[in-house]
Chain A
Amino acid sequence: MSTKWKWALPLCAAVGIGLAILWLIHVRTERLQHRLLAAAPETVAGDPSLLRFASAQARPLYAQHCAVCHGPHLHGNPAIGAPNLSDAVWLYGTGSLYDIERTLLYGIRSGEDQSHNEADMPAFGLRGILTEGQIRSVVQYLLQLNGRPYDVQAANEGRALYAGTGNCADCHGSDARGNNDYGAPDLTRNVWNSGGDPQALYNAIYSGQHRIMPAWRRSLSLEQIRALASYVYAVSHSS
Protein backbone atom coordinates (compact mmCIF):
# COMPACT_ATOMS: atom_id res chain seq x y z
CA MET A 1 0.00 0.00 0.00
CA SER A 2 1.39 3.39 -0.92
CA THR A 3 2.16 5.98 1.68
CA LYS A 4 -0.57 8.06 0.16
CA TRP A 5 -3.33 5.79 1.70
CA LYS A 6 -1.73 4.89 4.99
CA TRP A 7 -3.62 7.61 6.84
CA ALA A 8 -6.84 5.72 6.20
CA LEU A 9 -5.81 2.60 8.11
CA PRO A 10 -6.08 3.93 11.65
CA LEU A 11 -9.22 5.81 10.73
CA CYS A 12 -10.90 2.68 9.42
CA ALA A 13 -9.74 0.72 12.45
CA ALA A 14 -11.18 3.32 14.81
CA VAL A 15 -14.46 3.45 12.90
CA GLY A 16 -14.62 -0.34 12.83
CA ILE A 17 -14.06 -0.65 16.55
CA GLY A 18 -16.62 2.07 17.22
CA LEU A 19 -19.21 0.35 15.02
CA ALA A 20 -18.52 -2.97 16.71
CA ILE A 21 -19.06 -1.44 20.12
CA LEU A 22 -22.27 0.21 18.97
CA TRP A 23 -23.43 -3.07 17.51
CA LEU A 24 -22.73 -4.91 20.73
CA ILE A 25 -24.63 -2.28 22.72
CA HIS A 26 -27.49 -2.52 20.28
CA VAL A 27 -27.62 -6.32 20.50
CA ARG A 28 -27.53 -6.24 24.26
CA THR A 29 -30.25 -3.58 24.40
CA GLU A 30 -32.41 -5.58 22.01
CA ARG A 31 -31.95 -8.69 24.08
CA LEU A 32 -32.84 -6.93 27.31
CA GLN A 33 -35.77 -5.22 25.62
CA HIS A 34 -37.06 -8.58 24.48
CA ARG A 35 -36.61 -10.09 27.93
CA LEU A 36 -38.31 -7.13 29.57
CA LEU A 37 -41.41 -7.51 27.47
CA ALA A 38 -41.50 -11.29 27.14
CA ALA A 39 -41.19 -11.96 30.86
CA ALA A 40 -44.19 -12.02 33.15
CA PRO A 41 -44.47 -8.85 35.25
CA GLU A 42 -43.62 -10.84 38.38
CA THR A 43 -40.42 -12.07 36.76
CA VAL A 44 -39.40 -8.55 35.81
CA ALA A 45 -40.14 -7.37 39.34
CA GLY A 46 -37.78 -9.99 40.72
CA ASP A 47 -34.92 -9.31 38.33
CA PRO A 48 -32.75 -6.34 39.42
CA SER A 49 -30.87 -6.21 36.13
CA LEU A 50 -34.11 -5.91 34.18
CA LEU A 51 -35.44 -3.28 36.57
CA ARG A 52 -32.22 -1.29 36.16
CA PHE A 53 -32.41 -1.55 32.40
CA ALA A 54 -36.09 -0.58 32.39
CA SER A 55 -35.50 2.35 34.71
CA ALA A 56 -32.79 3.71 32.44
CA GLN A 57 -35.17 3.43 29.49
CA ALA A 58 -38.06 4.94 31.42
CA ARG A 59 -36.49 7.99 33.05
CA PRO A 60 -36.68 10.24 29.97
CA LEU A 61 -40.17 8.92 29.23
CA TYR A 62 -41.25 9.68 32.77
CA ALA A 63 -39.82 13.18 32.54
CA GLN A 64 -41.63 13.76 29.27
CA HIS A 65 -45.05 12.24 30.01
CA CYS A 66 -45.58 11.72 33.74
CA ALA A 67 -43.57 14.31 35.65
CA VAL A 68 -45.94 17.12 34.76
CA CYS A 69 -48.52 15.63 37.15
CA HIS A 70 -46.61 13.28 39.44
CA GLY A 71 -43.56 15.51 39.85
CA PRO A 72 -39.94 14.95 38.77
CA HIS A 73 -39.25 12.66 41.72
CA LEU A 74 -42.54 10.75 41.65
CA HIS A 75 -43.67 12.45 44.82
CA GLY A 76 -47.00 13.55 43.37
CA ASN A 77 -48.69 16.91 43.47
CA PRO A 78 -51.37 17.50 46.13
CA ALA A 79 -52.51 20.66 44.35
CA ILE A 80 -53.94 18.58 41.53
CA GLY A 81 -54.50 15.38 43.48
CA ALA A 82 -51.77 13.47 41.64
CA PRO A 83 -50.67 10.68 43.98
CA ASN A 84 -47.17 10.03 45.22
CA LEU A 85 -45.83 7.06 43.23
CA SER A 86 -42.81 6.47 45.40
CA ASP A 87 -44.47 5.52 48.69
CA ALA A 88 -45.88 2.07 47.88
CA VAL A 89 -49.40 3.26 48.75
CA TRP A 90 -51.76 2.52 45.90
CA LEU A 91 -55.22 3.63 44.98
CA TYR A 92 -55.81 0.81 42.53
CA GLY A 93 -54.50 -2.70 42.94
CA THR A 94 -51.73 -3.77 45.22
CA GLY A 95 -48.82 -2.02 43.59
CA SER A 96 -47.65 -5.07 41.69
CA LEU A 97 -45.91 -4.37 38.43
CA TYR A 98 -48.87 -5.89 36.62
CA ASP A 99 -51.32 -3.52 38.38
CA ILE A 100 -49.17 -0.49 37.60
CA GLU A 101 -48.91 -1.56 33.99
CA ARG A 102 -52.71 -1.96 33.69
CA THR A 103 -53.21 1.55 35.03
CA LEU A 104 -50.67 2.89 32.56
CA LEU A 105 -52.27 1.04 29.66
CA TYR A 106 -55.85 2.14 30.22
CA GLY A 107 -55.66 5.04 32.65
CA ILE A 108 -58.17 6.25 35.21
CA ARG A 109 -61.55 7.56 34.03
CA SER A 110 -59.92 7.99 30.63
CA GLY A 111 -63.10 7.25 28.73
CA GLU A 112 -61.86 3.78 27.79
CA ASP A 113 -63.93 0.83 28.92
CA GLN A 114 -61.00 -0.89 30.59
CA SER A 115 -59.86 2.13 32.55
CA HIS A 116 -60.36 2.35 36.31
CA ASN A 117 -63.77 3.91 36.39
CA GLU A 118 -65.61 2.17 39.16
CA ALA A 119 -66.41 4.97 41.53
CA ASP A 120 -66.23 8.69 42.18
CA MET A 121 -65.75 10.54 45.41
CA PRO A 122 -68.95 12.64 45.49
CA ALA A 123 -68.83 16.37 46.11
CA PHE A 124 -70.51 16.14 49.51
CA GLY A 125 -70.55 19.87 50.16
CA LEU A 126 -71.19 21.14 46.67
CA ARG A 127 -74.11 18.78 46.28
CA GLY A 128 -75.54 19.57 49.68
CA ILE A 129 -75.25 16.00 50.97
CA LEU A 130 -73.39 17.20 54.06
CA THR A 131 -73.36 20.66 55.61
CA GLU A 132 -70.11 22.53 56.14
CA GLY A 133 -70.26 21.76 59.87
CA GLN A 134 -70.80 18.08 59.21
CA ILE A 135 -67.84 17.99 56.86
CA ARG A 136 -65.66 19.62 59.52
CA SER A 137 -66.77 16.90 61.93
CA VAL A 138 -65.81 14.18 59.46
CA VAL A 139 -62.42 15.86 59.11
CA GLN A 140 -61.97 15.67 62.88
CA TYR A 141 -62.81 11.97 62.74
CA LEU A 142 -60.16 11.49 60.04
CA LEU A 143 -57.62 13.27 62.23
CA GLN A 144 -58.55 10.93 65.07
CA LEU A 145 -58.15 7.89 62.82
CA ASN A 146 -54.63 9.00 62.00
CA GLY A 147 -53.55 9.72 65.54
CA ARG A 148 -53.45 13.45 65.06
CA PRO A 149 -54.84 16.11 67.43
CA TYR A 150 -58.63 16.29 67.12
CA ASP A 151 -61.77 17.66 68.74
CA VAL A 152 -63.46 14.81 70.61
CA GLN A 153 -67.06 15.93 70.27
CA ALA A 154 -66.74 16.75 66.56
CA ALA A 155 -64.91 13.50 65.91
CA ASN A 156 -67.73 11.54 67.53
CA GLU A 157 -70.24 13.27 65.29
CA GLY A 158 -67.91 12.66 62.34
CA ARG A 159 -67.77 8.96 63.13
CA ALA A 160 -71.55 8.74 63.05
CA LEU A 161 -71.66 10.66 59.76
CA TYR A 162 -68.92 8.46 58.32
CA ALA A 163 -71.04 5.37 58.86
CA GLY A 164 -74.41 7.02 58.31
CA THR A 165 -75.49 10.01 56.24
CA GLY A 166 -72.11 10.46 54.63
CA ASN A 167 -72.05 6.88 53.34
CA CYS A 168 -68.25 7.09 53.52
CA ALA A 169 -68.03 3.51 54.74
CA ASP A 170 -69.59 2.26 51.51
CA CYS A 171 -66.33 2.88 49.67
CA HIS A 172 -63.69 3.39 52.34
CA GLY A 173 -64.91 0.52 54.50
CA SER A 174 -66.25 0.51 58.03
CA ASP A 175 -62.65 0.31 59.26
CA ALA A 176 -61.66 3.17 56.89
CA ARG A 177 -58.95 1.04 55.34
CA GLY A 178 -60.15 1.74 51.82
CA ASN A 179 -60.76 -0.51 48.86
CA ASN A 180 -58.21 -0.91 46.11
CA ASP A 181 -60.76 -2.45 43.78
CA TYR A 182 -62.32 0.90 43.12
CA GLY A 183 -59.68 3.36 44.13
CA ALA A 184 -60.98 4.28 47.58
CA PRO A 185 -57.89 5.20 49.59
CA ASP A 186 -57.01 3.91 53.04
CA LEU A 187 -57.88 6.76 55.41
CA THR A 188 -55.84 5.46 58.31
CA ARG A 189 -52.30 5.75 56.91
CA ASN A 190 -52.02 9.51 56.92
CA VAL A 191 -51.28 9.46 53.20
CA TRP A 192 -53.34 12.01 51.29
CA ASN A 193 -53.42 12.67 47.58
CA SER A 194 -54.77 16.19 47.87
CA GLY A 195 -52.96 17.26 51.00
CA GLY A 196 -53.40 16.18 54.60
CA ASP A 197 -53.98 19.43 56.49
CA PRO A 198 -57.52 19.89 57.83
CA GLN A 199 -58.45 22.46 55.20
CA ALA A 200 -57.24 20.22 52.37
CA LEU A 201 -59.23 17.32 53.80
CA TYR A 202 -62.26 19.58 54.08
CA ASN A 203 -61.86 20.66 50.45
CA ALA A 204 -61.54 17.07 49.25
CA ILE A 205 -64.81 16.11 50.94
CA TYR A 206 -66.58 19.33 50.01
CA SER A 207 -65.70 19.30 46.32
CA GLY A 208 -65.20 15.58 45.74
CA GLN A 209 -62.45 13.86 43.79
CA HIS A 210 -62.74 13.01 40.14
CA ARG A 211 -59.15 12.76 38.98
CA ILE A 212 -58.23 11.33 35.62
CA MET A 213 -55.19 9.76 34.05
CA PRO A 214 -54.83 9.18 30.31
CA ALA A 215 -54.73 5.75 28.72
CA TRP A 216 -51.13 5.67 27.56
CA ARG A 217 -51.53 2.73 25.21
CA ARG A 218 -52.64 5.20 22.55
CA SER A 219 -49.46 7.23 22.66
CA LEU A 220 -46.73 4.94 24.02
CA SER A 221 -45.50 1.58 22.78
CA LEU A 222 -45.89 -1.59 24.77
CA GLU A 223 -42.14 -1.55 25.45
CA GLN A 224 -42.31 1.99 26.79
CA ILE A 225 -45.26 1.19 29.03
CA ARG A 226 -43.55 -1.88 30.45
CA ALA A 227 -40.41 0.19 31.08
CA LEU A 228 -42.39 2.92 32.85
CA ALA A 229 -44.29 0.41 34.95
CA SER A 230 -41.02 -1.24 35.94
CA TYR A 231 -39.51 2.11 36.81
CA VAL A 232 -42.42 3.13 39.03
CA TYR A 233 -42.37 -0.31 40.61
CA ALA A 234 -38.63 -0.09 41.26
CA VAL A 235 -38.83 3.37 42.80
CA SER A 236 -41.83 2.56 44.97
CA HIS A 237 -40.25 -0.63 46.25
CA SER A 238 -36.75 0.72 46.71
CA SER A 239 -37.42 1.79 50.26
Chain B
Amino acid sequence: MARFLAAFVYRPQRTLYLPALAVVAGLLVAGAGLFRPAPRLLTAVPPGYVALVNQKGLLFSDFRAQVEMETGKSFADATPAERRRVLREMINEELLVQRAVVLDLPETTNEVRTNMAIGVNTQVAAAVLAYEPTDAELRAFYDKSRQNYTTPGSMTVQDLVLHVGGYQNADQTLAQAQGDAAEAVYQLRAGASVDYVLEHFGFSRSGRAADGEELDFAAKLHLGDKLYQVASTLRDGEVSDPVVDWDGVHILIMQRHQFPKVADFPAVRDRVYLDFRNAASNHATEENLGLLRRQASILLAPGQSE
Protein backbone atom coordinates (compact mmCIF):
# COMPACT_ATOMS: atom_id res chain seq x y z
CA MET B 1 0.00 0.00 0.00
CA ALA B 2 2.80 2.36 0.93
CA ARG B 3 4.51 1.57 -2.38
CA PHE B 4 1.26 2.16 -4.24
CA LEU B 5 0.72 5.52 -2.56
CA ALA B 6 4.33 6.39 -3.23
CA ALA B 7 3.41 6.41 -6.90
CA PHE B 8 1.32 9.54 -6.30
CA VAL B 9 4.13 11.53 -4.74
CA TYR B 10 4.80 14.68 -6.68
CA ARG B 11 7.71 14.43 -9.11
CA PRO B 12 8.48 17.56 -11.17
CA GLN B 13 9.55 15.72 -14.31
CA ARG B 14 6.16 13.99 -14.47
CA THR B 15 4.40 17.29 -15.24
CA LEU B 16 5.85 17.07 -18.72
CA TYR B 17 4.52 13.60 -19.46
CA LEU B 18 0.82 14.40 -19.66
CA PRO B 19 1.13 17.47 -21.95
CA ALA B 20 3.48 15.51 -24.16
CA LEU B 21 1.02 12.66 -24.28
CA ALA B 22 -1.77 15.07 -25.18
CA VAL B 23 0.31 16.59 -27.98
CA VAL B 24 1.05 13.17 -29.46
CA ALA B 25 -2.62 12.16 -29.23
CA GLY B 26 -3.69 15.42 -30.85
CA LEU B 27 -1.24 14.97 -33.70
CA LEU B 28 -2.46 11.44 -34.24
CA VAL B 29 -6.10 12.55 -34.41
CA ALA B 30 -5.27 15.43 -36.76
CA GLY B 31 -3.22 13.13 -38.97
CA ALA B 32 -5.99 10.60 -39.10
CA GLY B 33 -8.44 13.29 -40.13
CA LEU B 34 -6.14 14.70 -42.74
CA PHE B 35 -5.49 11.45 -44.51
CA ARG B 36 -8.92 9.96 -44.06
CA PRO B 37 -10.57 9.05 -47.37
CA ALA B 38 -13.49 11.13 -48.65
CA PRO B 39 -16.90 10.15 -47.24
CA ARG B 40 -18.10 7.01 -48.88
CA LEU B 41 -21.21 6.98 -50.98
CA LEU B 42 -24.26 5.66 -49.22
CA THR B 43 -25.02 2.15 -50.30
CA ALA B 44 -28.09 1.69 -48.16
CA VAL B 45 -31.10 3.90 -47.63
CA PRO B 46 -30.82 5.68 -44.26
CA PRO B 47 -33.72 5.40 -41.85
CA GLY B 48 -36.49 7.90 -42.48
CA TYR B 49 -36.06 7.74 -46.25
CA VAL B 50 -37.78 5.59 -48.82
CA ALA B 51 -35.17 5.80 -51.56
CA LEU B 52 -31.91 7.40 -52.56
CA VAL B 53 -31.74 8.84 -56.05
CA ASN B 54 -28.18 9.72 -56.93
CA GLN B 55 -27.54 10.03 -53.17
CA LYS B 56 -30.51 12.40 -52.76
CA GLY B 57 -32.96 11.02 -50.22
CA LEU B 58 -36.71 10.86 -50.70
CA LEU B 59 -38.47 11.19 -47.36
CA PHE B 60 -40.60 8.25 -46.28
CA SER B 61 -43.04 10.75 -44.85
CA ASP B 62 -43.43 12.41 -48.27
CA PHE B 63 -43.89 9.01 -49.87
CA ARG B 64 -46.63 8.14 -47.43
CA ALA B 65 -48.38 11.48 -47.93
CA GLN B 66 -48.15 11.06 -51.70
CA VAL B 67 -49.60 7.54 -51.56
CA GLU B 68 -52.48 8.72 -49.39
CA MET B 69 -53.16 11.69 -51.64
CA GLU B 70 -53.05 9.74 -54.91
CA THR B 71 -54.99 6.70 -53.77
CA GLY B 72 -57.37 8.35 -51.35
CA LYS B 73 -56.63 5.51 -48.92
CA SER B 74 -54.61 5.31 -45.75
CA PHE B 75 -51.04 4.17 -46.30
CA ALA B 76 -51.78 0.85 -44.65
CA ASP B 77 -54.71 0.22 -46.98
CA ALA B 78 -52.84 1.07 -50.19
CA THR B 79 -51.93 -2.00 -52.18
CA PRO B 80 -48.29 -2.87 -52.87
CA ALA B 81 -48.92 -2.12 -56.55
CA GLU B 82 -50.20 1.35 -55.70
CA ARG B 83 -47.23 2.02 -53.48
CA ARG B 84 -44.83 0.86 -56.18
CA ARG B 85 -46.49 3.09 -58.74
CA VAL B 86 -46.27 6.14 -56.50
CA LEU B 87 -42.66 5.43 -55.61
CA ARG B 88 -41.81 5.06 -59.27
CA GLU B 89 -43.44 8.41 -60.00
CA MET B 90 -41.53 10.09 -57.19
CA ILE B 91 -38.23 8.66 -58.37
CA ASN B 92 -38.99 9.73 -61.93
CA GLU B 93 -39.77 13.22 -60.76
CA GLU B 94 -36.57 13.40 -58.73
CA LEU B 95 -34.57 12.23 -61.74
CA LEU B 96 -36.17 14.90 -63.91
CA VAL B 97 -35.55 17.59 -61.32
CA GLN B 98 -31.91 16.55 -61.03
CA ARG B 99 -31.65 16.58 -64.81
CA ALA B 100 -33.21 20.04 -64.87
CA VAL B 101 -30.49 21.24 -62.53
CA VAL B 102 -27.82 19.71 -64.78
CA LEU B 103 -29.43 21.37 -67.80
CA ASP B 104 -29.45 24.60 -65.84
CA LEU B 105 -33.11 25.24 -66.51
CA PRO B 106 -33.21 28.25 -64.21
CA GLU B 107 -30.80 29.84 -66.64
CA THR B 108 -32.54 28.78 -69.82
CA THR B 109 -36.27 28.49 -69.17
CA ASN B 110 -38.38 31.51 -68.41
CA GLU B 111 -41.14 29.50 -66.77
CA VAL B 112 -38.70 27.94 -64.30
CA ARG B 113 -37.17 31.33 -63.54
CA THR B 114 -40.58 32.89 -63.01
CA ASN B 115 -41.71 30.12 -60.70
CA MET B 116 -38.50 30.29 -58.71
CA ALA B 117 -38.94 34.00 -58.22
CA ILE B 118 -42.57 33.52 -57.21
CA GLY B 119 -41.52 30.79 -54.78
CA VAL B 120 -39.05 33.07 -53.04
CA ASN B 121 -41.56 35.91 -52.82
CA THR B 122 -44.21 33.57 -51.42
CA GLN B 123 -41.88 32.43 -48.68
CA VAL B 124 -40.87 35.96 -47.84
CA ALA B 125 -44.48 37.13 -47.71
CA ALA B 126 -45.67 34.21 -45.58
CA ALA B 127 -44.56 35.71 -42.29
CA VAL B 128 -45.81 39.17 -43.16
CA LEU B 129 -49.29 37.93 -44.05
CA ALA B 130 -49.66 36.38 -40.61
CA TYR B 131 -50.12 39.87 -39.22
CA GLU B 132 -53.71 41.05 -38.93
CA PRO B 133 -53.99 44.84 -39.11
CA THR B 134 -56.04 46.87 -36.66
CA ASP B 135 -58.90 49.17 -37.61
CA ALA B 136 -56.69 52.18 -37.00
CA GLU B 137 -54.02 50.84 -39.32
CA LEU B 138 -56.57 50.13 -42.03
CA ARG B 139 -58.03 53.60 -41.73
CA ALA B 140 -54.59 55.20 -41.85
CA PHE B 141 -53.83 53.18 -44.96
CA TYR B 142 -57.13 54.31 -46.50
CA ASP B 143 -56.42 57.95 -45.67
CA LYS B 144 -53.02 57.69 -47.28
CA SER B 145 -54.33 56.18 -50.49
CA ARG B 146 -57.82 57.66 -50.87
CA GLN B 147 -57.30 58.17 -54.60
CA ASN B 148 -57.38 54.40 -55.02
CA TYR B 149 -60.92 54.25 -53.67
CA THR B 150 -62.50 56.76 -56.03
CA THR B 151 -65.67 55.64 -57.77
CA PRO B 152 -65.44 56.43 -61.50
CA GLY B 153 -67.35 59.45 -62.74
CA SER B 154 -69.71 59.43 -65.72
CA MET B 155 -71.26 62.00 -68.04
CA THR B 156 -73.97 62.43 -70.63
CA VAL B 157 -72.77 65.23 -72.90
CA GLN B 158 -73.60 66.63 -76.33
CA ASP B 159 -70.79 67.90 -78.52
CA LEU B 160 -71.70 70.35 -81.29
CA VAL B 161 -69.10 71.46 -83.83
CA LEU B 162 -68.96 74.32 -86.28
CA HIS B 163 -66.59 73.40 -89.09
CA VAL B 164 -64.74 76.56 -90.13
CA GLY B 165 -65.58 77.44 -93.74
CA GLY B 166 -68.00 74.60 -93.90
CA TYR B 167 -71.54 74.39 -95.19
CA GLN B 168 -72.76 77.71 -96.64
CA ASN B 169 -69.76 79.51 -95.12
CA ALA B 170 -66.95 79.06 -97.61
CA ASP B 171 -65.36 82.39 -96.75
CA GLN B 172 -65.78 82.07 -92.99
CA THR B 173 -62.68 82.77 -90.91
CA LEU B 174 -61.90 81.20 -87.55
CA ALA B 175 -62.64 84.50 -85.85
CA GLN B 176 -66.07 84.61 -87.49
CA ALA B 177 -66.76 81.03 -86.51
CA GLN B 178 -65.80 81.82 -82.93
CA GLY B 179 -68.14 84.78 -82.98
CA ASP B 180 -71.01 82.60 -84.26
CA ALA B 181 -70.23 80.00 -81.63
CA ALA B 182 -70.23 82.63 -78.87
CA GLU B 183 -73.65 83.76 -80.03
CA ALA B 184 -74.87 80.14 -80.11
CA VAL B 185 -73.60 79.64 -76.56
CA TYR B 186 -75.44 82.76 -75.50
CA GLN B 187 -78.67 81.43 -77.06
CA LEU B 188 -78.26 78.00 -75.50
CA ARG B 189 -77.64 79.47 -72.06
CA ALA B 190 -80.71 81.64 -72.58
CA GLY B 191 -82.80 78.53 -73.14
CA ALA B 192 -82.67 77.95 -76.89
CA SER B 193 -82.93 74.33 -77.97
CA VAL B 194 -80.07 72.39 -79.47
CA ASP B 195 -82.09 71.90 -82.66
CA TYR B 196 -82.44 75.67 -82.99
CA VAL B 197 -78.66 76.12 -82.74
CA LEU B 198 -78.03 73.34 -85.20
CA GLU B 199 -80.38 74.93 -87.67
CA HIS B 200 -79.48 78.61 -87.32
CA PHE B 201 -75.69 78.56 -86.80
CA GLY B 202 -74.66 75.70 -89.05
CA PHE B 203 -73.50 73.48 -86.17
CA SER B 204 -73.58 69.71 -86.46
CA ARG B 205 -73.14 66.89 -83.96
CA SER B 206 -69.47 65.96 -83.87
CA GLY B 207 -70.13 62.26 -83.37
CA ARG B 208 -67.42 62.15 -80.68
CA ALA B 209 -69.79 61.98 -77.72
CA ALA B 210 -71.86 58.85 -77.14
CA ASP B 211 -75.62 59.09 -77.26
CA GLY B 212 -76.08 58.09 -73.67
CA GLU B 213 -74.10 58.07 -70.43
CA GLU B 214 -70.50 56.98 -70.52
CA LEU B 215 -67.80 56.59 -67.91
CA ASP B 216 -65.15 59.27 -67.63
CA PHE B 217 -62.38 57.24 -69.17
CA ALA B 218 -64.55 56.44 -72.20
CA ALA B 219 -65.62 60.06 -72.57
CA LYS B 220 -61.98 61.10 -72.47
CA LEU B 221 -61.16 58.58 -75.14
CA HIS B 222 -63.98 59.77 -77.40
CA LEU B 223 -63.82 63.53 -76.87
CA GLY B 224 -60.06 63.84 -76.85
CA ASP B 225 -57.99 65.43 -74.12
CA LYS B 226 -58.83 69.04 -74.92
CA LEU B 227 -62.62 68.69 -74.96
CA TYR B 228 -62.61 66.26 -72.04
CA GLN B 229 -60.73 68.76 -69.93
CA VAL B 230 -63.51 71.30 -70.53
CA ALA B 231 -66.29 68.72 -70.09
CA SER B 232 -64.90 67.49 -66.78
CA THR B 233 -65.56 70.92 -65.23
CA LEU B 234 -69.19 71.26 -66.39
CA ARG B 235 -72.10 70.62 -64.07
CA ASP B 236 -75.53 69.33 -64.98
CA GLY B 237 -77.18 71.56 -67.64
CA GLU B 238 -74.14 73.80 -68.20
CA VAL B 239 -72.97 74.90 -71.66
CA SER B 240 -69.27 75.38 -72.30
CA ASP B 241 -67.60 78.35 -73.88
CA PRO B 242 -66.56 77.75 -77.51
CA VAL B 243 -63.55 75.44 -77.73
CA VAL B 244 -61.34 75.49 -80.78
CA ASP B 245 -60.08 72.08 -81.78
CA TRP B 246 -58.48 70.70 -84.93
CA ASP B 247 -61.83 70.17 -86.69
CA GLY B 248 -63.60 73.40 -85.79
CA VAL B 249 -65.23 75.23 -82.93
CA HIS B 250 -67.03 73.04 -80.38
CA ILE B 251 -69.73 73.64 -77.85
CA LEU B 252 -70.31 71.09 -75.08
CA ILE B 253 -73.70 70.77 -73.45
CA MET B 254 -73.61 68.76 -70.25
CA GLN B 255 -76.86 66.96 -69.59
CA ARG B 256 -75.78 64.95 -66.56
CA HIS B 257 -72.43 64.77 -64.88
CA GLN B 258 -71.61 62.46 -62.02
CA PHE B 259 -68.24 63.55 -60.68
CA PRO B 260 -65.73 60.93 -59.40
CA LYS B 261 -66.20 60.42 -55.68
CA VAL B 262 -63.95 59.00 -52.99
CA ALA B 263 -65.78 56.06 -51.42
CA ASP B 264 -66.30 56.14 -47.66
CA PHE B 265 -64.11 53.86 -45.60
CA PRO B 266 -66.93 51.53 -44.48
CA ALA B 267 -67.98 51.01 -48.09
CA VAL B 268 -64.55 49.88 -49.21
CA ARG B 269 -63.03 48.38 -46.08
CA ASP B 270 -62.80 44.94 -47.67
CA ARG B 271 -60.79 46.38 -50.54
CA VAL B 272 -58.69 48.40 -48.12
CA TYR B 273 -57.99 45.24 -46.12
CA LEU B 274 -56.87 43.31 -49.19
CA ASP B 275 -54.82 46.25 -50.47
CA PHE B 276 -53.19 46.62 -47.05
CA ARG B 277 -52.09 43.01 -47.10
CA ASN B 278 -50.91 43.24 -50.70
CA ALA B 279 -48.94 46.33 -49.82
CA ALA B 280 -47.38 44.54 -46.84
CA SER B 281 -46.50 41.59 -49.04
CA ASN B 282 -44.99 43.85 -51.70
CA HIS B 283 -43.06 45.74 -49.06
CA ALA B 284 -41.59 42.47 -47.76
CA THR B 285 -40.62 41.49 -51.29
CA GLU B 286 -38.89 44.82 -51.82
CA GLU B 287 -37.11 44.58 -48.48
CA ASN B 288 -35.90 41.14 -49.42
CA LEU B 289 -34.68 42.39 -52.78
CA GLY B 290 -32.94 45.26 -51.05
CA LEU B 291 -31.16 42.83 -48.77
CA LEU B 292 -30.18 40.61 -51.69
CA ARG B 293 -28.86 43.60 -53.56
CA ARG B 294 -26.81 44.75 -50.59
CA GLN B 295 -25.27 41.32 -50.33
CA ALA B 296 -24.78 40.88 -54.07
CA SER B 297 -21.97 41.95 -56.32
CA ILE B 298 -23.61 43.59 -59.33
CA LEU B 299 -21.43 45.10 -62.03
CA LEU B 300 -22.88 47.01 -64.97
CA ALA B 301 -21.21 47.40 -68.32
CA PRO B 302 -20.03 50.92 -69.19
CA GLY B 303 -22.89 53.14 -70.29
CA GLN B 304 -25.54 50.92 -68.72
CA SER B 305 -27.80 51.90 -65.89
CA GLU B 306 -30.85 50.40 -64.15
Residues of A in contact with B (beta carbons under 8 Å apart): 3-7, 34, 37-38, 98, 101-102, 105, 109-112, 114, 123, 126-129, 207-212, 222-223, 226
Specify which of A6, A109, A111 is in contact with B124 (CB 8 Å cutoff): A111
Can you list 9 residue pairs at the A/B interface with Cβ under 8 Å?
A3-B6, A98-B64, A105-B59, A109-B130, A123-B273, A127-B270, A128-B270, A208-B132, A226-B48
Q: B249-273 vs A: 1/0 string, CB under 8 Å?
A: 0000000000000000010011001
Shortest Cβ distance from residue B305 to the other chain A in the assembled complex, whole angstroms: 33
Shortest Cβ distance from residue A16 to the other chain B in the assembled complex, whole angstroms: 15
In the complex the two chains form, is A210's CB within 8 Å of B132's CB?
A: yes
Assess whether B133 is interfacial by the CB under 8 Å rule: yes
In the complex the two chains form, is B65's CB within 8 Å of A128's CB?
A: no
Shortest Cβ distance from residue A117 to the other chain B in the assembled complex, whole angstroms: 9
Q: A6-B4, A126-B133, A226-B48 are in contact. Are A102 and B127 (CB under 8 A)?
A: no
In the complex the two chains form, is A212's CB within 8 Å of B269's CB?
A: no
Specify which of B8, B48, B130 is in contact with A210 (CB 8 Å cutoff): B130
Q: Contacts of A5 on B, CB cut-off 8 Å?
A: 7
Q: Contacts of B46 on A, CB cut-off 8 Å?
A: 37
Q: A126-B138, A127-B269, A127-B270 are in contact. Are A109 and B8 (CB under 8 A)?
A: no
Specify which of A6, A98, A112, A127 is in contact with B123 (CB 8 Å cutoff): A112
Shortest Cβ distance from residue B21 to the other chain A in the assembled complex, whole angstroms: 10
In the complex the two chains form, is B269's CB within 8 Å of A126's CB?
A: yes
Specify which of A3, A126, A209, A222 is in contact with B135 (CB 8 Å cutoff): A126
Q: A105-B61, A212-B130 are in contact. Are A6 and B273 (CB under 8 A)?
A: no
CA of A127 to CA of B268 in the docked complex: distance in angstroms? Answer: 8
CA of A110 to CA of B123 in the docked complex: distance in angstroms? Answer: 7
Q: Total interface residues on B, using CB and 8 Å? A: 35
Specify which of B61, B127, B129 is in contact with A98 (CB 8 Å cutoff): B61
Shortest Cβ distance from residue A97 to the other chain B in the assembled complex, whole angstroms: 11
CA of A69 to CA of B170 in the docked complex: distance in angstroms? Answer: 87
In the complex the two chains form, is B130's CB within 8 Å of A211's CB?
A: yes
Q: B36-79 vs A: 1/0 string, CB under 8 Å?
A: 00000000001111000000000101101100000000000000
Assess whether B231 is interfacial by the CB under 8 Å rule: no
Closest to B57 in A: A222
Specify which of A37, A110, A126, A129 is in contact with B132 (CB 8 Å cutoff): A126
CA of A58 to CA of B5 in the docked complex: distance in angstroms? Answer: 46
Query: Lowest 8 A-B CB distances belong to which pairs?
Result: A111-B123, A7-B7, A38-B47, A111-B126, A37-B47, A6-B7, A128-B269, A212-B130
In the complex the two chains form, is A109's CB within 8 Å of B126's CB?
A: yes
Q: Contacts of B6 on A, CB cut-off 8 Å?
A: 3
In the complex the two chains form, is B61's CB within 8 Å of A102's CB?
A: yes
Shortest Cβ distance from residue A66 to the other chain B in the assembled complex, whole angstroms: 17
Closest to A226 in B: B48
Q: A38-B47, A128-B266 are in contact. Are A212 and B65 (CB under 8 A)?
A: no
Q: Contacts of B61 on A, CB cut-off 8 Å?
A: 98, 101-102, 105
CA of A208 to CA of B61 in the docked complex: distance in angstroms? Answer: 31
Assess whether B144 is interfacial by the CB under 8 Å rule: no
In the complex the two chains form, is A3's CB within 8 Å of B3's CB?
A: yes
Closest to A131 in B: B266
Q: Contacts of A7 on B, CB cut-off 8 Å?
A: 7-8, 14
Q: Contacts of B124 on A, CB cut-off 8 Å?
A: 111
Q: A6-B3, A126-B138, A223-B48 provided; 9 other pairs, C-beta below 8 A?
A: A98-B61, A105-B61, A110-B126, A128-B270, A207-B134, A208-B132, A212-B126, A212-B129, A222-B49
